[in-house]
Amino acid sequence: MKIGIDKIGFFTSNYYLDMVDLANARGEDPNKYLIGIGQKQQAVIPPTQDVVTMAANAAEKILTDEDKQSIDMVVFGTETGVDNSKSAAIYVQSLLGISSSARSFEIKQACYGGTAGVQMAADHIAMHPDSKVLVLAADIARYGIKTPGEVTQGGGAIAMLLSVDPRILVLDNQSAFHSENIMDFWRPFYKREAIVDGHYSTDIYIDFFNKTFKDYCDKFGRSLTDFSALVYHLPFTKMGLKALRTVVDDSPHSQKLLKAFDQSKQYNAHVGNLYTGSLYLSLLSLLSNSTDLHANDRIGLFSYGSGAQGEFYSATIAETMDSRRLASQVDSVLSDRIKLSVPEYEKMYADGLPINGGNVTFDAANDHSRFVLLGRKADQLV
């Protein structure tokens, strides 16, 4: 039985900041951000979007009415939840009119939550082949104005529909995992910004990639040449490149993998970090921008969530995967964005969340999102 990703949708804010403008405002050489970090633009998330609205906007693009009735599980991976108790999945299920017979819940392990959802969905479908599972991965990455992490902010959502006989990616059901209690990045309840030791986190990420990739190859008798591409969780695109560089050499196959990596980072370089969704935006970038991939080609996916959990797993390209269709969906989101000046970004960054019905200015003329957040009543049932 073939199980995997049948549809994939993407959404991000329609505001962005250019990294050359940010570098100039922070007194840095623009090439540090463009080449050293590998980011060109970053999504700026307005107070009118949270993970619920972003995920609903991503899912709405891909789901038919028939899908909404067939979905029997909604899994929401996020580390930017809107409530300590009630899951973001329930809100999305209701906003989209997904069948109330579905099981809906949220899962958390930093940026790994999206992959946990994908693997849980695949196991569920293996037991219940008629089911369809909606996996949502949405986050807002905030580090703070004038901090080293500022250049690696971003946000957005990925929605994936998993089923049997998938039209995009067939999962191999072959994975290797590694987890350890590590304090490289965390988000305490009292803060809106992440606490991160970026250099340490990069070292751990590379170490977890090496461990899980080796374990995967040992378990399943594979090596680098079995893969047409490797895609990575990309907090910033240079981070994935550093991990890839630890396993490639001067061979033609390694050059092919480096070329595929360039294609897999295109969208991430324009959106920034989506945390749980980053690996899947990179997958979308590879599938949309590659001219060399063919049906049945095997790709490896490295997922990492600080704290820390790593997983390397593999999948093959479905016969029906349609690059142009995937690309046109992302291109329409990215081309419909408004560039902010640095002062405009700083003001939007400082704007509070609309708790207790606080007033939010919604720019209806420029914002074409289907779902927006206009206020939240924290102490009432609404």
The site for ligand CAA (CB under 6 A) is made up of 29, 31-32, 35-37, 79, 110-111, 148-149, 151-152, 185, 196, 198-199, 201, 235-236, 273, 275, 305-306
Report in angstroms how near the CB of residue 129 gets to ligand CAA at its nearest. Answer: 32
Does the annotation mark 79 as catalytic?
yes
103 three-state secondary structure: strand
Does the annotation mark 217 as catalytic?
no
Report in angstroms how near the CB of residue 181 gets to ligand CAA at its nearest. Answer: 14
Give the active site residue among 60, 79, 106, 150. Answer: 79
- Give the residue with the Cβ less far from ligand CAA, 34 or 164: 34
The answer to the question of whether 345 is labelled as a binding residue is no
Q: What is the DSSP string of 250-310?
A: SSHHHHHHHHHHHHHTHHHHHHB--GGGHHHHHHHHHHHH-SS--TT-EEEEEEEETTTEE
Q: What is the DSSP string of 55-85?
A: HHHHHHTT--HHHHHHEEEEEEE-SS-S-SS
Cα–Cα distance, 281 to 16 (Å, whole number): 17
Give the active site residue among 106, 150, 233, 311. Answer: 233
Inter-axis angle of helices 51-60 and 88-96, to 10 degrees? 40
The answer to the question of whether 242 is labelled as a binding residue is yes
* Structural contact between residues 113 and 79, judged by C-beta atoms closer than 8 angstroms: yes
- Give the residue with the Cβ less far from ligand CAA, 42 or 201: 201
Contacts of 210 (CB under 8 A, 6+ apart): 243, 246, 247
Report in angstroms how near the CB of residue 299 gets to ligand CAA at its nearest. Answer: 21
Report in angstroms how near the CB of residue 205 gets to ligand CAA at its nearest. Answer: 6
Contacts of 108 (CB under 8 A, 6+ apart): 77, 78, 79, 81
Nearest CA to 273 out of 141, 148, 158, 149 is that of 141
- Give the residue with the Cβ less far from ligand CAA, 213 or 236: 236
Give the active site residue among 111, 150, 178, 270. Answer: 111
- Give the residue with the Cβ less far from ligand CAA, 175 or 276: 276
Report in angstroms how near the CB of residue 23 gets to ligand CAA at its nearest. Answer: 9
For residue 312, give both structure tokens. Answer: 């390397």
- Give the residue with the Cβ less far from ligand CAA, 245 or 325: 245
Cα–Cα distance, 270 to 367 (Å, whole number): 18
* Structural contact between residues 136 and 55, judged by C-beta atoms closer than 8 angstroms: yes
The answer to the question of whether 29 is labelled as a binding residue is yes
The answer to the question of whether 267 is labelled as a binding residue is no
Q: Could you list the active site residues?
A: 79, 111, 233
Task: List the binding residues for (3S)-3-hydroxy-3-methylglutaryl-CoA.
Answer: 29, 143, 242, 273
